[in-house]
Amino acid sequence: MKQFVVDAFTKNVFHGNPAAVCVLEGWLPEARMQQIATENSLSETAFVVKEGDRYHIRWFTPGTEVDLCGHATLASAFVLTRFFDTQAEELTFTSLSGQLKVRKRGEMLELDFPARMPKLISFTEEMERILHGQRAQAYVDSDLILVLEEERMVRDFVPDYTLISALEGDLGLFITAPSKTYDFVSRTFFPKIKINEDPVCGSAHCNLIPYWSRRLNKPTLVAFQASPRGGILYCEDRGDRVRISGYAALYSEAELHV
């Protein structure tokens, strides 16, 4: 079985977020897909099967299957349009989060994903401990979002994964702040599903884009994920949908003997 590894949201390998992509003729047992994702030890492994004129996509972290993943969808579209469906200008995926479209946009690929406007909640002592005594505005959708005042606070943040893992519910943590170079910066952490820091998280921007679009009164935004690898996302708020565009770079092709 062929497997590709693609660095998403970057033009250059060793940056952005690496995702493994397996394009299958038919589904493997779920346990085997989880074993492959665990063996890969990347934040996501995507499995794709063509069904009629669409592709069914599933995403696995080293610890579990998830319902939405941006960078692995972008990586899958890169693989499909480069090696399998080379004439396609648009791909439609079915997924646990419904129908997702990916379009070619010059050298970039554009994701069309559901928007998820987070809700304001009370800032707690637990959140203050996670931020090492700093305060923030707190929001939640499926994950906890802490909005900081300055970009340097995001870039300099030292995560305590034990504290983050102790958050109530099945939560990841996003931290974000306005930026002078970009419209906003962020970092994302998912230790509960065995991803300490996700280098560039497309699905997190389903929350971050509507929040920052309303706060800055701008429908189009440029975001930077300030992880050690880093990645740039070109964003658009479309009401109940968001568009997230980025580059991708092929790192490897391999044959899996499973």
Percent of the chain with pLDDT over 90: 97
Across all residues in the chain, what is the average pLDDT?
Answer: 96
Check whether residue 145 and residue 183 sit in a common domain.
yes
Do residues 89 and 20 share a domain?
Answer: yes
The pLDDT > 70 percentage for the chain reads: 100
How many angstroms separate the CA atoms of 61 and 40, rounded?
Answer: 9
Chain Cα centroid distance, residue 2: 23
Q: Based on the domain organization, do 50 and 95 belong to the same domain?
A: yes
Question: Is residue 30 domain-shared with residue 45, that is, in the same domain?
Answer: yes
Confidence of residue 9 (pLDDT cuts 50, 70, 90): very high
The answer on pLDDT for 169 being more than 80 is no
Average pLDDT over residues 134-151: 96
Looking at the structure, do residues 123 and 234 belong to the same domain, yes or no? yes
Residues 55 and 11 in one domain: yes
DSSP β-ladder status, 44-51 and 2-8: unpaired
Task: Provide the strand spans (E) within 165-226.
Answer: 173-178, 184-190, 195-198, 220-225
Nearest Cα residue to 246 out of 115, 47, 104, 151: 104
* 15 and 104 together in one domain: yes
Residue 244 predicted with pLDDT over 90: yes
How far apart (Å, rounded) are the C-alpha atoms in residues 121 and 133? 18
Active-site entry in 44, 110, 151, 197: 44
What is the number of domains present in the chain? 2
Residues 186 and 136 in one domain: yes
Domain residues for the domain of 39 are 2-114+244-255
Whole-angstrom Cα distance, residue 189 to residue 176? 12
What is the model's pLDDT at position 186?
Answer: 98
Give phi and psi for 103, each to the nearest 5. Answer: -120, 150
Q: Which of 8, 5, 54 shows the shortest CA–CA distance to 202?
A: 8
Return the pLDDT at 194. Answer: 87
Please check the confidence at residue 32 and state whether its pLDDT lies above 90: yes
Model confidence at 258, pLDDT cuts 50, 70, 90, reads confident
103 plus 128 within the same structural domain:
no
Whether 95 and 158 share a structural domain: no
Q: What is the pLDDT of residues 35-84, one digit of tens each?
A: 999 999 999 999 999 999 999 999 999 999 999 999 999 999 999 999 99
Q: Kindly state whether residues 107 and 18 are assigned to the same domain.
A: yes
pTM recorded for the entire structure: 0.92
State yes or no: is 39 an active-site residue: no
CATH number at residue 163: 3.10.310.10
For 205-229, write each residue's pLDDT tens digit.
999 999 999 999 999 999 999 999 9
Identify whether residues 61 and 167 lie together within a single domain.
no
Instruction: Look at residue 170 and tell me whether its pLDDT is greater than 80.
Output: no
Q: Token pair for residue 164?
A: 């983050």
pLDDT category of residue 168 using cuts at 50, 70 and 90: confident
Residue 207's nearest CA partner among 242, 161, 256, 167 is 242
> What mean pLDDT is predicted for residues 88-94?
97
Per-residue pLDDT, 15: 97
